[in-house]
Amino acid sequence: MRNLKNLHFENRKDYFLIKINRPKNLNALNQKTIEELILLFDFITKNSVGKYGIVITGEGDKSFVAGADIKEFVELDGKSSLKFCRNGHDLFNKIEKMHIPVIALVNGYALGGGCELSLACHIRVATLNAKFSQPEINLGLIPGYGGTQRLTQIVGKSKALEMMLTAEMISAEDALDYKLINNVVDDIDSGIKKVEEYISTFKRKGPNAIKNVIKSVNNYFDKDVDGFEEEIKLFIECVKTSDFKEGIQAFIEKRCPDFKGE
Ligand code: CAA
């Protein structure tokens, strides 16, 4: 993908790395960045052969994403705020439904829309200087990119309400304690090491099974879907793959499976 103004996109061995690249604004998500991310995730959906994950982080050492771009809020009214929310929801739903795991490497402020971006990812690794918050209440707002739902799903109602009602900043260690994140690492270098460990683990699994685990877990939160029934369908779908046969054969022969995604 070329001509990305606010994103740095790297095609790395086994995974894609995306950096939100507006460090002067602490990587705040303006509408242009949201649109670029939507295009990029559409591109990745069609071009992910040989990739086992996507890592999202922020440029610089101060911020992952400090929220939606507040400077653009001056123009916001009842009508334009619908488009504002829809764009964010479309992007974050897309991320949550990706067929390969998306890892947020949170390297500083993850505030408002930044915290919500991390919540839409499948795994969250945070550096020790990371700070999480949903501070929208300080602006007379509520989270608008899915935060009221996903934060509640992830940390539970009490903590979610406390975070959203107080706008308090949470340290990486507390975020780990609340199960908001999966890991804390010292710095960005150890963060890259950690996410690459995840990618190399995902590489050894069957891509169909990975895709169906994500789908099935997402179904739990979809009120229109019977997650148990869908699990049966997705299980059967896996049984019909060559990878399943390979997995069983490898177990019997006491060797590592060689999954081909077929
Ligand atoms: N939008 C636009 N610009 C932002 C920004 C944001 N969310 N966060 C920081 N910036 C800009 C600042 O305006 C500043 O730019 P200038 O130098 O041009 O003035 C630059 O980034 C550096 O920021 P600070 O000087 O404020 O840095 P600091 O270290 O003193 O403070 C901070 C850092 C505590 C993160 C502070 O910048 C801050 O509180 N930012 C706003 C965080 C916030 O409220 N985010 C939620 C947004 S609403 C939302 O996200 C709604 C939703 O659900 C989608």
Q: Model confidence over 167-184: pLDDT tens digits? A: 999 999 999 999 999 999
Distances (CA, A) of 159 to 149, 174, 191, 210: 13, 11, 26, 30
Report the percentage of the chain scoring pLDDT > 70: 100
Q: Model confidence over 114-166: pLDDT tens digits? A: 999 999 999 999 999 999 999 999 999 999 999 999 999 999 999 999 999 99
Residue 2 located in a structural domain: no
Residue 33 located in a structural domain: yes
Q: Which domain, by its residues, includes 139?
A: 7-202
Residues 111, 135, single domain; the answer is yes
Q: Model confidence over 191-214: pLDDT tens digits? A: 999 999 999 999 999 999 999 999
Task: Kindly state the average pLDDT of the residues 242-249.
Answer: 97
* Residue 28, domain CATH: 3.90.226.10
Q: How far is the CA of 202 from the centre of ligand 1 (A)?
A: 35
The catalytically annotated residue of 35, 75, 136, 231 is 136
Task: Kindly state the average pLDDT of the residues 7-19.
Answer: 97
Report the percentage of the chain scoring pLDDT > 90: 98
Tell whether the model's pLDDT for residue 1 goes beyond 80: no
pLDDT of 2 reads 76
Instruction: Please list, in sequence order, all residues whose beta carbon lies within 8 angstroms of the beta carbon of residue 239, skipping any fewer than 6 positions away.
Output: none
Residues 239, 155, single domain; the answer is no
Residues 238, 121, single domain; the answer is no
Helices 78-96, 31-46: axis angle to 10 degrees equals 30
End residue of a domain, out of 180, 202, 224: 202
Q: Residue 227 — pLDDT band, cuts 50, 70, 90?
A: very high
Residues 154, 227, single domain; the answer is no
Residues 191, 210, single domain; the answer is no
Q: What is the pTM of this model?
A: 0.97
Residues 152, 237, single domain; the answer is no
Residue nearest to atom 43 of ligand 1 (CA): 67
pLDDT of 134 reads 98
Q: Are 133 and 124 a contacting pair, CB within 8 Å?
A: no
Residues 182, 229, single domain; the answer is no
The catalytically annotated residue of 36, 59, 96, 116 is 116
Residues 142, 237, single domain; the answer is no
**Whole-angstrom Cα distance, residue 77 to residue 10?**
36
Average pLDDT, the chain: 97
Task: Kindly state the average pLDDT of the residues 21-35.
Answer: 98
Q: How many domains does the chain have?
A: 2
Nearest-atom index, ligand 1, CA of 138: 44
Residues 226, 141, single domain; the answer is no
Q: How far is the CA of 64 from the centre of ligand 1 (A)?
A: 12
Instruction: Please list, in sequence order, all residues whose beta carbon lies within 8 angstroms of the beta carbon of residue 221, skipping any fewer than 6 positions away.
Output: 149, 153
Residues 89, 169, single domain; the answer is yes
DSSP annotation of 224 reads T
Tell whether the model's pLDDT for residue 45 goes beyond 80: yes
Instruction: List the end-to-end C-alpha distance of the chain, in Å, as a whole number.
Output: 27
Which residue is it, tokens 């919500």? 116
Dihedral sign (CA 59, 61, 67, 69) = negative
pLDDT of 251 reads 97
Q: How far is the CA of 174 from the centre of ligand 1 (A)?
A: 22
Instruction: Please list, in sequence order, all residues whose beta carbon lies within 8 angstroms of the beta carbon of residue 27, skipping any fewer than 6 positions away.
Output: 20, 21, 58, 59, 60, 63, 64, 65, 66, 114
- Give residues (CB < 6 A) around ligand 1: 25-26, 28, 66-71, 88, 109, 111-113, 116, 135-136, 139, 143-145, 147
CB atoms within 10 A of CB 157: 10
Residues 36, 99, single domain; the answer is yes
**Whole-angstrom Cα distance, residue 22 to residue 28?**
7
Q: Model confidence over 65-110: pLDDT tens digits? A: 999 999 999 989 999 999 999 999 999 999 999 999 999 999 999 9
Residues 187, 234, single domain; the answer is no
